[in-house]
Amino acid sequence: MKLIFLILILTLNFSCFENKSTKKETNKPELVATSKTDTLKFISGIRAIFQDSKGNYWFGSHNEGVSVYNGISFEYFTTDEGLSDNQIRSIQEDNNGKIWIGTSKGASVYDKGTLTNYSTKTNEPKYEWHKTNGDLWFYAGEEDGINRFDGKNMNYLIFPKPKNENLDNSYGVTDVSMGQDGKVWIATYAALFKYDGKMATIFDHKTLKLKDNELLHIRSVLADSKGRIWIGNNGIGVLLMEGNSIINFSEKNNLIHPTSTRRGDKSQPGTLEHVFAIEEDSEGNIWFGDRDTGAWKYDGKTLTNYKIDSKLNTQMIWSIYEDQNKNLLFGMSEGGVYKFNGKTFDKQF
């Protein structure tokens, strides 16, 4: 009897061990409500959202560093852990699975638990741009150029720009979008640059044919699947480049208030004047994140405005990102991340 009892106990223990091992091996990150798991502790804006090839979610904050969510808990990286700076501008993954974190003071690379930093001033400025494979692009401070990592070196490339006549603006990079045709669109406060693999072309106040009272202050850019270029401004709304046509999309849809100064003042409800984020979802809808009026969806015919959460002090959206499961995520200025459920928004992190 003692022998039978011992065998039974060992069998049960082994069975439990097998179940635990299987559960651990099959665990994959997925979106779950914060009430069921650890919570994202950031209270400053979520400026970057990224899901890596392993399914982990990365969140870049305005001044608290970066966090990675593995489906169970969050891990944090700041300057104390070796990050270049705590203000995050972008998060990318290279072909080797390394995570590149663009900050306001250089880029940090996360690889197998180790952070390696690259300064924005790693070499002499280059005026000739040469395309290589696997390029990664980074903010280069409030300078007149951009950093590009070509697989071996971090290069500082100078923009072919005219004299900056607006002292309130700089050519500091605010956003980058890769077109399906391989062209790279680089947004700066004072102008938009297109790089086609051979040369960089400037689109500034003059070439965009703006009015004298329209201050160009670009905060976001998107090259969509149809080849259209959407330019989000802080003051004059959304500009749309389609072929040789350039229009003020916000103005055409009566989304700039008649009394607007078009210079960054607080917007009235129902306007689309301060666009800090633009994204295209898997269904081809274009989403805009406005500083004052929340989210806007354009389905090709109709524009719909959404309030993210009435409990928030501001509806300002810093980032919009569609993950591998086609979840559309919105990073807010107060630190939360919300998912669009088709009608409303649920707080996820």
**Residue 169 structure tokens:** 């603006």
Residue 77 lies in a domain: yes
Q: Dig out the tokens for 149 from the structure.
A: 């990592």
pLDDT for res 13 = 40
In a domain, 99, yes or no: yes
Intervals of the chain under pLDDT 50 = 1-29, 31-37
d(CA 170, CA 165): 10
Q: Which of 155, 239, 236 is nearest to 203 (CA)?
A: 239
Instruction: Identify the DSSP state of 92.
Output: E
Q: Tell me, yes or no, whether 59 lies in a domain.
A: yes
Cα distance between residue 322 and residue 225, in whole Å: 14
pLDDT at 27: 39
Domain assignment present for 201: no
Distance, CA of 82 to CA of 307 (rounded, Å): 37
Per-residue confidence (pLDDT) for residue 132, from 0 to 100: 62
| Residue 202, in any domain of the structure | no
User: In angstroms, what CA-CA distances link 209 with 42, 46, 75, 328?
Assistant: 40, 33, 47, 34
| C-alpha separations of 20 from 29, 198, 275 in Å | 17, 55, 47
Residue 100 lies in a domain: yes
Amino acid at 317: I
Is residue 83, in this structure, part of any structural domain at all? yes
Q: Classify each residue of 164-194 as buried b or exposed e, where b means 16 or more C-beta atoms within 10 Å of its C-beta.
A: beeeebbbbbbbbbebeeebbbbbbbbbbbb
304 and 293 in contact (C-beta within 8 Å)? no
Q: CA 76, CA 56: separation in Å to the nearest integer? A: 13
Residue 79's φ and ψ, nearest 5 degrees, are -65, -25
Tell me if 196 sits within 8 A of 168, measured CB to CB.
no
Mention every residue, 6+ apart, whose C-beta is less than 8 A from residue 347.
Answer: 33, 34, 309, 336, 337, 338
Residue 100 near residue 94, CB atoms below 8 Å:
yes
User: Which residues face 185 on adjacent strands?
Assistant: 177, 194
Rounded-to-integer distance, Cα 181 and Cα 141, Å: 28
Q: Are 72 and 36 in contact (CB under 8 A)?
A: no
What's the CATH code of the domain at 74?
A: 2.40.10.500
| Domains: count for the chain | 1
For residue 52, give its domain range. 47-118
Q: Identify the pLDDT of residue 130.
A: 74
Contact 104, 142 (CB under 8 A): no
pLDDT at 122 (0 to 100): 60
Residue 110 lies in a domain: yes
pTM: 0.87
